[in-house]
């Protein structure tokens, strides 16, 4: 956060609009929409809200089946349960760690009920294999929702991820590549924006009074937070450049010890987090995380696959367990855009010290 954000927030306050409506929201949505071919943007209070609205817009209801990656954040399963629908978890492929098209195709060829929707996560900023996934899903007329919460600025064949499916979602949570402190966005077709905004602003149909013909949600972003977003968005490309430089330095220094994800042909990752897996199968990733913590270095395990969570015990998982193997060996290294070269050198040296111990 810096002068650009302060200037935009002051502009928001000066406009007199602090509620979930105002010129900063309009400007933020417009600037974001420029990145996505034939998509409109609805600014919301979280990426989870965007996922939930996408399911509603896709017509997902009680007892509908919704496919999704197991290897991702819990919001992707929670929103399915919000709708009374049934999540079905699909394994990862090893190249990008995202949803495996082959497992998807095998499941659909043998399932007894065709799912209503598919949530595809672009994990850690690495684009999923969208061409294959879209081809398979469309064969069964399944709505595709792209979870690009971690992947703003990532591209496939020079097209921004989030705009390949029927709906896309973004997150501007405090840990994302740009932030509005808390926030998100829904990407939809132009003719659907009015309805999305209607649902996100309580779905009031009354004139000079409140009158509801359907359930609505208090999901809109505030004008002030949109001001922060405007300031952050101006720095997106420099943030991506910094994230990619951090990744490259880690890879160059630690390639003997870790396996790092390579970008497939025509794929561009924003490298939101530097993630990698241990090459030495005799080592325990928790031992490294605890060692780093004692040296005042915060690191994290990768996302625990959703089918391993107690909250989702009752729901099916399909695959051979690739995502479980990645989880057991994987780590997220410090990757913030505020990370200095000296700090990264300290992390690298400390990691090397652990491997030498």
pLDDT tens string 173-190: 999 999 999 999 999 999
Nearest Cα neighbor of 28 from 204, 261, 236 is: 236
DSSP, collapsed to helix, strand or coil, labels residue 234 as coil
Q: Given this model, what pLDDT does residue 8 score?
A: 87
DSSP, collapsed to helix, strand or coil, labels residue 42 as strand
- 215 lies in the same domain as 314: no
DSSP, collapsed to helix, strand or coil, labels residue 147 as strand
Of 213, 233, 253, the last residue of a domain is 233
* DSSP H or E stretch at residue 201: none
- 211 lies in the same domain as 139: yes
Helix residue spans in the chain (DSSP H): 3-14, 23-33, 47-57, 75-82, 101-110, 130-139, 193-200, 223-233, 236-254, 285-294, 322-329, 341-356
- 182 lies in the same domain as 268: no
Q: Given this model, what pLDDT does residue 9 score?
A: 85
The token pair that represents 107 in the structure block:
């499941």
| Interval 149-175 mean pLDDT | 96
Q: Given this model, what pLDDT does residue 245 score?
A: 98
- 219 lies in the same domain as 298: no
Q: What does the chain come to in residues?
A: 357
Q: How far apart are CA 230 and CA 6, in angstroms?
A: 10
Of 233, 248, 271, the last residue of a domain is 233
Of 209, 233, 257, the last residue of a domain is 233
Nearest Cα neighbor of 198 from 185, 214, 222 is: 214
* pLDDT band with cut points at 50, 70 and 90 for residue 69: very high
Residues 6+ apart with CB under 8 A from 201: 20, 21, 216, 218, 219, 220
- 296 lies in the same domain as 201: no
- 59 lies in the same domain as 73: yes
32: left (phi over 0), alpha (psi -120 to 50) or beta: alpha
DSSP for 148-166, written as a single string: -TT-TT-EETTEETTSSSS
Q: Given this model, what pLDDT does residue 15 score?
A: 87
The residue written with tokens 């007892």 in the block is 63
DSSP, collapsed to helix, strand or coil, labels residue 212 as strand
Domains in the chain: how many in total? 2
- 341 lies in the same domain as 259: yes
Q: Given this model, what pLDDT does residue 208 score?
A: 85
Contact present, 269 and 243 (Cβ < 8 Å):
no
pLDDT tens string 87-107: 999 999 999 999 999 999 999
* CATH number of the domain where residue 121 is located: 3.40.640.10
- 182 lies in the same domain as 205: yes
* pLDDT band with cut points at 50, 70 and 90 for residue 138: very high
Phi, psi (rounded to 5 degrees) for 162: 110, -20
The token pair that represents 62 in the structure block:
């009680």
The token pair that represents 197 in the structure block:
């905004």
Calculate the average pLDDT of the chain.
Answer: 96
pLDDT tens string 8-38: 888 888 888 888 888 999 999 999 999 997 8
Give the range of the structural domain holding residue 81, as residue numbers without chain letter. Answer: 3-233
Phi, psi (rounded to 5 degrees) for 334: -55, 125
Q: Given this model, what pLDDT does residue 219 score?
A: 97
- 65 lies in the same domain as 91: yes
- 189 lies in the same domain as 220: yes
pLDDT tens string 245-293: 999 999 999 999 999 999 999 999 999 999 999 999 999 999 999 999 9
Q: How far apart are CA 103 and CA 345, in angstroms?
A: 40
Contact present, 236 and 170 (Cβ < 8 Å):
no
The residue written with tokens 């101006």 in the block is 234
- 84 lies in the same domain as 23: yes
């Amino acid at each position: 956060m810096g002068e650009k954000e302060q200037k935009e927030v002051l502009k928001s306050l000066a406009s007199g609009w602090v509620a979930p409506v105002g010129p900063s929201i309009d400007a933020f949505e417009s600037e974001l929409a420029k990145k996505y071919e034939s998509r409109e943007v609805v600014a919301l209070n979280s990426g989870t809200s965007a996922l939930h609205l996408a399911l509603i817009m896709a017509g997902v209801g009680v007892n509908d089946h919704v496919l999704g990656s197991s290897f991702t954040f819990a919001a992707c399963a929670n929103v399915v349960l919000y709708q009374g629908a049934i999540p079905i978890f699909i394994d990862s492929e090893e190249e990008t760690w995202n949803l495996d098209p082959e497992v998807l195709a095998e499941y659909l060829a043998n399932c007894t009920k065709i799912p209503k929707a598919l949530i595809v996560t672009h994990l850690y900023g690495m684009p999923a294999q969208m061409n294959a996934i879209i081809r398979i899903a469309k064969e069964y007329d399944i709505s595709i929702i792209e979870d690009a919460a971690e992947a703003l600025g990532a591209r496939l064949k020079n097209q921004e991820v989030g705009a390949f499916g029927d709906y896309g979602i973004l997150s501007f949570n405090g840990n994302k590549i740009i932030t509005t402190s808390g926030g998100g966005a829904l990407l939809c077709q132009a003719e659907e924006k009015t309805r999305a905004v209607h649902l996100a602003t309580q779905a009031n149909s009354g004139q000079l009074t409140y009158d509801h013909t359907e359930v609505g949600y208090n999901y809109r972003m505030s004008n002030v937070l949109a001001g922060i977003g405007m300031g952050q968005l101006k720095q997106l490309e420099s943030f991506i450049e910094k994230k990619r430089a951090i990744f490259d330095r880690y890879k160059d220094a630690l390639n003997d010890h870790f396996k790092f994800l390579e970008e497939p042909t025509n794929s561009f990752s924003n490298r939101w987090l530097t993630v990698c897996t241990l090459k030495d199968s005799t080592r325990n990733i928790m031992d490294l995380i605890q060692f780093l913590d004692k040296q005042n270095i915060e690191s994290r395990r990768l996302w625990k696959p959703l089918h391993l969570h107690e909250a989702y015990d009752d729901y099916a998982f399909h695959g051979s367990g690739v995502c479980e193997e990645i989880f057991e060996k994987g780590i997220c290294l410090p990757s913030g855009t505020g990370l200095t070269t000296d700090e990264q050198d300290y992390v690298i040296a400390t990691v090397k010290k652990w491997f030498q111990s």
